Every structure is written in C-alpha cells, then in structure tokens.
C-alpha cells in the first residue's frame, strides 16, 4: 500500500533535525557561520524574508545549493512558509552529503507571528527586469547586485574623453545616481573622442550634454549636473554625497585636490589619464592602497606634461581606458573581483600591449602616511598654496 502524504512527512521529520524559531534566532545571532536558507518561491520571498537569509527556491535546491553553500559541513538552517517544504529540503541536503542541516519548525509564518524582524525586499519593475536581465544571469551580480548599482552614487569629474565612455556605460549598467562636474562647453574638436556629445550640442555645457544623452539612454539614472570647476570651496559640499569618484580630470591641481579630500572622506577614486597612444589607470582606496600622492609626491615639470592639443590623442584611446575605469567602478559598487588598488595598468595602443606595475603606499606620504595631517593639507588647498598647477595631460 502506498504511503500517504502525512506518513511521508512524519517519516521525513523523523530523519532530520528541527529547530524552533527561538532557537534559530539565538543561533543566527551567536554563530556567524550559520547559513540561513529560504526555500520558498520567489513571489513569497518578495513579500518578506528573515534578515540575513539567502534564497534558493525548493525547485532549484539540488542544482543551486552548492553554489550558495559550498562547505557541506557548515551549519545550515532551512525554512519555508510553514516548515513542510524545508523538512523535505533538509532530507534532500542530507542525501547530498550535507552533515549539519536543520529545518525551522513553523517556518517564516511562525517567525513573523512571534514578532521577530523581517525584511521586505526592494523589487525591480518589469521594465527593469528586462533592461538588466543579462546582469541577473551573472551569479556575482544578480538582482541583489543590480539593486546595489541602482543605489550607488558615482561622481564623474569631467565629461570629456574619459568621462564620456564612463557616463555612457555606468548609466547603461544602472548606476542610480551620476554626478557630473564640468564647466567646459562642447567643441567640434571634442567629437573625435568624446562620444557622449553630438554635433547638435556644440556650444552646450558638457555636463548638460552628457545629462541629455543619459536621459535618452536610461530613465532609471538620476543625473546631478555641476556646471562649475571643482575647487577647494565646493568639493566639501559635493564629494561626501557620493560613494566613489571616477576621475577624468585634465590637470594636476584638481587631481591632488580630489585625492586629498577623498583621503579625508575615505572615498575610492578610479584614476586614469591618456595622451597620444598611451593610457594608464589605477584605483585609489584610502588606507588600503597607495593614494595619488604616494605615486606622485610632486607634479612633474610642465615640459614633461604636454596636453592633447599639443601632442594629440588617438580617438579610441579614451574609450579603452574609460571603459576600464567604468569596470573598476562597477566592481567597487558591487564589492566583487580584484580592483587595481596597488597596481598601475599601462596601455600602449600602438603595440596593443598592457603592462601592470605594482604600487606601494608611502609611509611618509603627506596625505595618507603614518604622520600625515590631512586637515592641514586641506587647509592649504583652501588657501591655494598646496601646489603650483601643472598643465593639461588629458
């Protein structure tokens, strides 16, 4: 005679371990190595879940659990709505070789009714699900990562050669807020490389032109326009509003200014520069890797830093380097991968060759060194005597 459902459930529960909601709450608080896994359907998860839980729907448990919990000896607590699906799921994990699995009695409903905290996820619209669907397919990004991107605020310093590809691709990726600061206007000579601008917008402020292009590309992105030069007076009102900086500046004065205030406010800076056929970039994470002053304690002589109008620049070069900057910015926003902190990446367009150089923090650095007085350095910026500006190298 075939077993009834109730007999099957009873036998399954006899073969697994169960824990109450109170015990689960205590264990999760006390032991950070515990994996709390929600096996309900996506629509149930979207209505609310236990803080810290990971979602692996019961129908995908066998194929997805090893991607979520790779250590089969790690403690795992499963829950569903009422404790039934999680019981069957616990038996399945035991059969897959997991040695420390429990099912929470009463499930999410019992947890919620007992007054324990819950989280209601932020759900993306149907339009956003379509737009970012290729991100969802990446385990390192997924819907959770996309929400991170939408919540991230990036400050783009400059809407020129480097700022143009950065603005386009960061907007396309769904960075939620882009601040663009640039007091220059679009000129015809810019159009050879500054792809975010068009012939019809010659004479407009670059920041306005970039904002218009982004609005046409992705309505999710909020663009904050600053049609002004970044100075010691306004940087303190702008920089703290953003999570990270993408530096497309064209002079050493602004680079040192950005670096020093980024050290003060602990903001990562993705720095790059280009000239002729060569580009270079690095990521400056305060107190984790070197800052800009560790690399360049003093600006080079003006004769060694010609500008693009003097030496020229290959039109595609800012695209190559700018997209590498955007890649760094996305990794920082998502918290994935290895950044270029502590490395300088050099690109030779003629040879199609990349070279990576290791960088180290300078313990004597006046900005981030052991005895640095960053507040005094910032005061020098305000007085205008921190350094003599060098010329354009963008």
Q: 332 with 259, same domain? A: yes
Kindly state whether residue 297 falls inside one of the protein's structural domains.
Answer: yes
Q: 181 with 245, same domain? A: yes
Q: 289 with 372, same domain? A: yes
Q: 80 with 161, same domain? A: no
Predicted local confidence at residue 301, as pLDDT: 65
Domain boundary among 113, 135, 163: 113
Q: Provide the residue-wise pLDDT of the chain in tens; the chain has 394 residues.
A: 457 899 999 999 999 999 999 999 999 999 989 999 999 999 999 899 999 999 999 999 999 999 999 999 999 999 999 999 999 999 999 999 999 999 999 999 999 999 999 998 888 999 999 999 999 999 999 998 999 999 999 999 999 999 999 999 999 999 999 999 999 999 999 999 999 999 999 999 999 999 999 999 999 999 999 999 999 999 999 999 999 999 999 888 999 999 999 999 999 999 999 999 999 999 999 999 999 999 999 887 655 565 555 678 999 999 999 999 999 999 999 999 999 999 999 999 999 999 999 999 999 999 999 999 999 999 999 988 765 433 333 3
pTM: 0.75
Q: How far apart are CA 193 and CA 314, in angstroms?
A: 8
Domain boundary among 94, 113, 132: 113
Kindly state whether residue 132 falls inside one of the protein's structural domains.
Answer: no
Token pair for residue 355?
């070279």
Give me the CATH number covering residue 86. Answer: 3.40.250.10
- Token look-up 């932020």 returns 122
Q: 250 with 302, same domain? A: yes
Q: 209 with 351, same domain? A: yes
- CB of 268 within 8 A of CB of 283? yes
Kindly state whether residue 133 falls inside one of the protein's structural domains.
Answer: no
Token pair for residue 83?
């404790």
Total domains present in the chain: 2
Q: What is the 3-state secondary structure (H, E, C) of 69-125?
A: CCCCCCCEEEECCCCCHHHHHHHHHHHCCCCCEEEECCHHHHHHHCCCCCECCCCCC
pLDDT, tens digit, for every residue of 62-93? Answer: 999 999 999 999 999 999 999 999 999 999 99
Q: 172 with 34, same domain? A: no
Parent domain of 63: 5-113
- Closest to 324 in 3D by CA, of 361, 360, 300, 349: 349
- Closest to 269 in 3D by CA, of 293, 287, 286: 286
Q: 80 with 201, same domain? A: no
Domain boundary among 93, 113, 133: 113
Q: How far apart are CA 274 and CA 325, in angstroms?
A: 12
Kindly state whether residue 139 falls inside one of the protein's structural domains.
Answer: no
pLDDT, tens digit, for every residue of 262-282? Answer: 999 999 999 999 999 999 999
Q: How far apart are CA 170 and CA 325, in angstroms?
A: 10
Those residues whose C-beta lies under 8 Å from the C-beta of residue 262, and which sit 6 or more positions away, are 239, 245, 268, 269, 284, 286, 291
Those residues whose C-beta lies under 8 Å from the C-beta of residue 206, and which sit 6 or more positions away, are 159, 160, 163, 182, 184, 185, 186, 190, 194, 197
Those residues whose C-beta lies under 8 Å from the C-beta of residue 166, and which sit 6 or more positions away, are 156, 246, 248, 322, 323, 325, 326, 329
């Amino acid at each position: 005679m075939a077993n009834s459902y109730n007999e099957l459930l009873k036998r399954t529960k006899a073969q697994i371990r169960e824990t109450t909601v109170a015990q689960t709450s205590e264990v999760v608080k006390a032991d950070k190595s515990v994996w709390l896994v929600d096996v309900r359907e996506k629509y149930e998860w979207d209505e609310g879940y236990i803080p810290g839980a990971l979602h692996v729907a019961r129908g995908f448990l066998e194929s997805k659990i090893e991607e979520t919990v790779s250590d089969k000896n790690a403690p795992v607590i499963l829950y569903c709505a009422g404790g039934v699906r999680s019981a069957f799921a616990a038996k399945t994990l035991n059969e897959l070789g997991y040695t420390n699995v429990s099912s929470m009695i009463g499930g999410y409903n019992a947890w919620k009714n007992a007054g324990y905290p819950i989280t209601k996820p932020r759900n993306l619209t149907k339009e956003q699900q379509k737009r970012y669907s290729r991100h969802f397919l990446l385990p390192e990004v997924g819907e959770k990562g996309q929400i991170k991107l939408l919540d991230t605020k990036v400050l783009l310093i400059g809407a020129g050669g480097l700022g143009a590809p950065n603005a386009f691709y960061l907007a396309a990726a769904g960075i939620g807020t882009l601040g663009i600061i640039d007091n220059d206007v679009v000129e015809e000579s810019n159009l050879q490389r500054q792809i975010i601008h068009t012939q019809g917008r010659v004479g407009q402020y670059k920041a306005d032109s970039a904002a218009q292009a982004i609005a046409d590309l992705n309505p999710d992105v909020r663009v904050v326009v600053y049609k002004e030069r970044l100075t010691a007076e306004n940087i303190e009102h702008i920089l703290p509003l953003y999570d990270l900086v993408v530096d497309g500046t064209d002079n050493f004065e602004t680079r040192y200014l950005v670096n020093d205030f980024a050290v003060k406010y602990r903001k990562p800076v993705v720095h790059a520069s280009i000239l002729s056929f060569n580009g270079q970039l690095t990521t400056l994470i305060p107190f984790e890797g070197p800052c800009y002053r560790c690399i360049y304690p003093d600006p080079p002589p003006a004769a060694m830093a010609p500008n693009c109008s003097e030496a020229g620049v290959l039109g595609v070069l800012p695209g190559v380097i700018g997209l590498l900057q955007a890649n760094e910015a996305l990794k920082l926003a998502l918290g994935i991968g290895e950044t270029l902190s502590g490395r300088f990446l050099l690109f030779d367009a003629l040879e199609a060759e990349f070279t990576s150089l290791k960088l180290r923090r300078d313990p004597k650095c006046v900005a981030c060194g052991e005895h640095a007085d960053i507040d005094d350095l910032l005061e020098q910026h305000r007085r205008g005597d921190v350094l003599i500006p060098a010329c354009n190298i963008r």
